[in-house]
């Protein structure tokens, strides 16, 4: 999965979020400020460090559209210890990437989200055991029914990993509901890449399912295996790290809606 804030390199420069991710990295440095606060001005809210507004790594003034998002970022800066740890600042990393790589490129980011509709996690079903088949249906079928009924997007399912081509009409119907706001589309991109499912991201965006159900739906097979064979500690650690960015993206969506 291509995660917006993953530190792995080598992704195509044509992807605006990947380019933004590379330029938005925050090198570790000692804490150089006493207090982070919020200032309201033209175009939204800025975050200040001892009265000076922060900028992205590329030198752009960081302006966010909602006070709740600014509060998330200020809280991250105030929570830092002697050394600033970028990993513990998902909202800040997200904001940097939006300002540097999504504003003015919403269509390209929306296209990248829509690509997942061609091979969404929810389309590929287990053939056995019956209990796993039933669990996938329990988590995934309501989302597919909603997409068909509310979005007019009718997708096909298959058993196993053999690729099934989805209709252009279904993909276009779902893509047409994507937001044009750069912050919202960036949050949807993060959720899509972290879960492997654009449909789960769509359902979250439209308020169809709560975040905990979306996260559980993205890990049905993983949880099934953990119940049968025990927890893989390395896998669990990676999942916990992804959950940090997932939660931040969901909170940003909620802030935009309110």
Residue 92 sits in a domain whose CATH number is 3.30.2180.10
The reported pLDDT for the residue numbered 25 is 54
**Six-digit token pair at 134?**
């039933």
**Residue 30 CB contacts under 8 Å (≥ 6 apart), including other chains:** 82, 83, 84
Query: Does residue 6 sit within a domain?
Result: no
The reported pLDDT for the residue numbered 32 is 93
The reported pLDDT for the residue numbered 256 is 93
The reported pLDDT for the residue numbered 3 is 35
The reported pLDDT for the residue numbered 129 is 93
The reported pLDDT for the residue numbered 41 is 86
Same domain? For 116 and 159 the reply is yes
Share of the chain above pLDDT 70, in %: 90
Query: Does residue 188 sit within a domain?
Result: yes
The reported pLDDT for the residue numbered 9 is 22
The reported pLDDT for the residue numbered 28 is 73
Residue ranges with strand state E in 109-212: 124-125, 158-159
The reported pLDDT for the residue numbered 180 is 93
Question: Which of 102, 124, 151 is where one domain is finished?
Answer: 102
Same domain? For 214 and 244 the reply is yes
Same domain? For 49 and 121 the reply is no
Q: Any alpha helices (H) in 12-79, and if so which ranges?
A: 16-23, 67-78
Rounded to the nearest integer, the mean pLDDT of the chain is: 88
Same domain? For 198 and 73 the reply is no
Same domain? For 35 and 92 the reply is yes
**Six-digit token pair at 39?**
């200032």
Same domain? For 138 and 218 the reply is yes
| Residue written as token pair 């916990």 | 240
The reported pLDDT for the residue numbered 27 is 62
Count CB atoms within 10 A of the CB of residue 10. Answer: 6
Same domain? For 74 and 121 the reply is no
Domain membership of residue 203 as a residue range: 106-257
Q: 193 in helix, strand or coil?
A: helix
Residue ranges with strand state E in 2-121: 29-30, 36-41, 44-49, 52-53, 63-64, 83-84
The reported pLDDT for the residue numbered 20 is 46
Query: Does residue 200 sit within a domain?
Result: yes
The reported pLDDT for the residue numbered 159 is 87
> Average pLDDT for consecutive 10-residue bins of the chain (258 residues)?
30 43 62 96 94 92 96 97 92 94 92 94 94 96 97 92 89 94 96 96 95 97 93 90 95 92
Count CB atoms within 10 A of the CB of residue 18. Answer: 22
The reported pLDDT for the residue numbered 26 is 55
Distance CA 172, CA 49 (A): 44
Residue ranges with strand state E in the chain: 29-30, 36-41, 44-49, 52-53, 63-64, 83-84, 124-125, 158-159
Same domain? For 115 and 24 the reply is no
| CB 250, CB 183: distance < 8 Å | no
Same domain? For 24 and 47 the reply is yes
Same domain? For 156 and 91 the reply is no
């Amino acid at each position: 999965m291509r995660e917006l804030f993953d530190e792995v390199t080598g992704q195509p420069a044509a992807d605006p979020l990947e380019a933004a991710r590379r330029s938005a990295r925050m090198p570790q440095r000692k804490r150089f400020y006493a207090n982070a606060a919020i200032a309201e001005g033209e175009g939204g809210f800025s975050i200040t460090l001892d009265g000076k507004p922060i900028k992205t790594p590329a030198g752009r003034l960081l302006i966010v559209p909602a006070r709740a998002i600014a509060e998330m970022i200020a809280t991250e800066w105030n929570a830092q210890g002697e050394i600033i740890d970028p990993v513990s600042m998902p909202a800040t990393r997200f904001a940097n990437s939006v300002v540097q790589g999504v504003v003015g490129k919403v269509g390209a980011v929306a296209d990248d989200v829509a690509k997942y509709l061609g091979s969404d996690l929810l389309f590929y079903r287990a053939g056995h055991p019956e209990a796993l088949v039933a669990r996938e249906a329990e988590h995934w079928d309501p989302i597919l029914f909603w997409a068909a009924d509310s979005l007019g997007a009718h997708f096909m399912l298959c058993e196993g990993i053999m690729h099934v081509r989805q209709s252009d009409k279904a993909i276009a119907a779902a893509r047409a509901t994507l937001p044009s706001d750069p912050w919202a589309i960036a949050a949807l991109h993060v959720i899509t890449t972290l879960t492997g499912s654009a449909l789960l991201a769509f359902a979250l965006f439209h308020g169809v399912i709560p975040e905990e159900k979306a996260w559980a739906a993205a890990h049905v097979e993983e949880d099934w295996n953990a119940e049968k064979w025990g927890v893989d500690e390395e896998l669990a650690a990676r999942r916990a790290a992804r959950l940090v960015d997932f939660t931040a993206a969901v909170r940003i969506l909620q802030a935009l809606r309110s």
